[in-house]
Structure 1
Amino acid sequence: MGRYRSNSPKPLKEALKDFLDDFPHRKRLKRGMVLSIWEQTVGKRIADETDNIHFEYGNLVVHVKNPAWRHEIHMKRFSIAKKLNDRIDEKIIKEIVVRS
């Protein structure tokens, strides 16, 4: 608790990071953040072709409607995972699993 008391002001980003580091459900919160930024990270076109995005054992599972898009997303899965992990400042996604 002493970390939160200080005579000098902290930037909001730093204070929020300190709070989240101690938050008991941090992993669940970060997973929710990944789901909420999916469309703006991958783009509207890919987001329109995906549905039922969820986590299973640390893997992000993405269902696609079309086999061609399944192949496209499968080829980009490592770069997509890196972008998502970078945006939330934590390695939450171990791997992206693409299913049709």
Structure 2
Amino acid sequence: MKKHSNSENSRQADIVTLKDGITALLKAYRLQGKLNEVTVVSSWERIMGKAVALKTQEIYISQGKLFVRLSSAPLKHELVMAKTRVLEIINAEVGEKVIQEVVFL
């Protein structure tokens, strides 16, 4: 029977979970903010629902502002009235304050 060497035990001390490793990598390369922005854009349909997504022509983020171009004037008016709620829902989805303002075009 082989005896476990001390080097294996010291190696286990260096073990990091995959989640922690990816988080550290994103932090080191300053990519977390961009990843959060991509998450917001890609999950727009899930956040706002299929009806809103079907009337959304374009969605992009620039300098902390989410720009949404809609094809329906009544929907645009309704979303402008609920702008703060939309902002809360979006930031809650990501888990941090990624978007400071929502602009409906």
Give your verdict on TM over 0.5: yes
Q: Indicate yes or no: 2:66 matched with 1:60.
A: yes
Q: Indicate yes or no: 2:85 matched with 1:79.
A: yes
Report the Cα distance in structure 2 between the residues aligned to 1:27 and 1:40, rounded to whole angstroms: 20
Q: Indicate yes or no: 2:8 matched with 1:32.
A: no
Identity of matched residues, %: 27
TM-score (normalizing by structure 2)? 0.74
TM-score (normalizing by structure 1)? 0.77
Matched letter for residue 53 of structure 1: I
Structure 1 residue ranges without an equivalent (≥5): none
Query: Would you identify which runs of 4 or more consecutive aligned residues in structure 1 move more than 6 Å?
Result: 8-11
- The root-mean-square deviation of aligned C-alpha atoms, in Å, is 2.2
Report the Cα distance in structure 2 between the residues aligned to 1:76 and 1:18, rounded to whole angstroms: 36
Structure 2 residue ranges without an equivalent (≥5): 1-10
Aligned length: 95
Report the Cα distance in structure 2 between the residues aligned to 1:24 and 1:6, rounded to whole angstroms: 28
